[in-house]
Structure 1
Amino acid sequence: MTEEQMAILKAFGFCVENGQVKHLKLGIVTDRKELARFSSAEELRAHIKSLLRTQCQWKRGKET
């Protein structure tokens, strides 16, 4: 994983631990290799935004 990719992950509140990418507040855990496959920063940002949007919608639906 590149430094640019790591910076993008940190900007969205993710951390990397033991080969996994985690968002502690939202409970998202994914494999580091899954996110490392994105070749451009824009693709990675779009994927992360999608993950966050999906997780927030799921949590909102679960609360009602």
Structure 2
Amino acid sequence: MKVHVDQDRCCGAGQCVLIAPEVFDQRDEDGIVTLLDPSPAAQEHAATREAAAVCPAAAITIDDDE
């Protein structure tokens, strides 16, 4: 699994951080997503997929081929 975030699309809702705090964080100054782990461990996959699914800005994409 390879995770990508588009900070330009992020609206700072923070759902990703609540769901997968090991993978995502937010910048203090504006709440925009930051990616802590672009290749999360297997135990983080389900939460990472859920975070991508609930992102209101569709700023998180997952590539399973990598």
More helix by share: 1
Q: Which has the larger radius of gyration?
A: 1
More strand by share: 2
Same fold flag (TM > 0.5): no
Report the TM-score range of the alignment, normalised by the length of the smaller protein.
0.3 to 0.5
Higher relative contact order (CA 8 A, sep 6+): 2
TM normalised by structure 1 equals 0.34
TM normalised by structure 2 equals 0.34
